[in-house]
Amino acid sequence: MIFKLVIHLLVIIFLTAFTQIGGIVYFLVIIGLKNFDKKMKLVVFFVVYFLMTFAVVPYISPYFGRVKITNSDDLQPRSFFYILTNRNYVVPEMNEVLQSVAINFEKNNPGTKLIYLDANFPFFNGFPLLPHLSHNDGKKIDVTLMYKDGGKLTNRKPSISGYGVYEGPTKNEYNQIDVCKHKGFWQYDFPKYLTLGRINRDIEFSNKANRELISLFLKQQKVGEIFIEPHLKSRLKLNNSKIRFHGCQAVRHDDHIHVQLR
C-alpha cells in the first residue's frame, strides 16, 4: 500500500515537473477512477491530458498572462514534444518578438525557420521549467542556432532535442568552459547528455546567419538580455550590452541562444 502510494507520488512529481498539468490530471484520474483497472486509468489519463493540453489550457493561459507560441511557416518548435509537454508558453510580448524576428529573418533568408526549444509553462510566475530555473515568468525562451549545409542555410540541426551539440571555442578563442569547469562547476557542460542523439553531422555553424539572427533579437526594444558563450559573442562581433555572460552556475550557451525580455 505504502509502496503504491510512493510510486503514485513520484509519478505526480515527475509529470508536474515535466509538463506542469500532467501531475494534477494523473491525481484526478487515480482518485476519480479508484475502482477501475489500470488499463482504463491509463486510457482516461491520456485522453484527459490531450484534451487539456490542446483544447483547454491554451484558452485559460491568457488569464494567467501567457499565450501559446503561434507557430507558422517561419516559426516552429524543434519537435512536437515541446507542444505536447506544454513547454511552449510565453507572455504575449515574447510571442510578438518571436513572430517579428522569424518573419524578418526569413525575408532575408528565404525558406529558413526560427526554431525554438524550451519556453515556459502556461501557469504561475515562479514555477520553473526544469532544468531551466529562470524560465519561470513567461519572458524566457531558448532558440536553436543557425547552420549551413555546403554554403546554403539549412533548417536541420545537429541534435534531436535541439540541445547539447556545442559550437565550442577554437584554440585561439577564450575558453569559458574550461574556466568554469576548473572552478568546479561540473554541470556547466551537462547538456551534452541531453541531445537524445547526435544527427546531421554534415552541417556547419553559420557565423553570418547567427550574427544576423541575434542582431534581429537585439533590435527588439522589449528584449532585455541574450545569453551566448563569450567566444561566440566575440567571434560574431556582437558588442552589445544586452549580451551577457550568464555565470558558471548555469550551463554553457554555445548549443542554443537564450533570449529574455526586460
Binding site for Zn ion (CB under 5 A): 132, 142, 258
* Shortest spacing between CB 131 and Zn ion, in angstroms: 10
| Cα distances (angstroms) measured from residue 59 to each of 47, 52, 66 | 18, 10, 10
Given the complex with Zn ion, which of 30 and 228 has the nearer CB atom? 228
The distance of Cα 68 from the centroid of its chain, to the nearest Å, equals: 13
Query: Residue 6 corresponds to which cell in the numbers above?
Result: 510512493
Q: Shortest distance, CB of residue 100 to Zn ion, whole angstroms?
A: 19
Residue 45 vs 185, nearer CB to Zn ion: 185
CB closer to Zn ion, 153 vs 226: 226
Query: At closest approach, how far in Å is the CB of 154 from Zn ion?
Result: 23
Q: All 3 cell numbers of residue 132?
A: 531551466
CA distance linking residue 155 with residue 152, whole number of Å: 10
Task: Answer whether 211's CB lies under 8 Å from 236's CB.
Answer: yes
Angle in degrees, CA 256, 260, 262, rounded to 5: 160
Nearer to Zn ion, 8 or 246 (CB): 246
CB-based closest residue to Zn ion: 258
* Rounded least distance, CB 143 to Zn ion, Å: 9
Cis ω before 62 (30° cut-off from 0): no
- Closer CB to Zn ion, residue 26 or residue 66? 66
Which residue, 142 or 167, is less far from Zn ion as judged by CB? Answer: 142
Minimum gap (Å) between residue 52 Cβ and Zn ion: 25
HEC secondary structure over 189-242: HHHHHHCCCECCCCCEECHHHHHHHHHHHHHCCCEEEEECCHHHHHHCCCCCCC
C-alpha cell at 203: 552541417
239/233 Cα distance (integer angstroms): 7
Sign of CA dihedral 12, 16, 20, 22: negative
DSSP state of 181: H
Identify which of residues 74 and 142 has a Cβ nearer to Zn ion in the complex: 142
204 strand-pairing partners: 148
Least Cβ distance, residue 132 to Zn ion (angstroms):
5
CB of 201 to Zn ion, least distance (A): 25
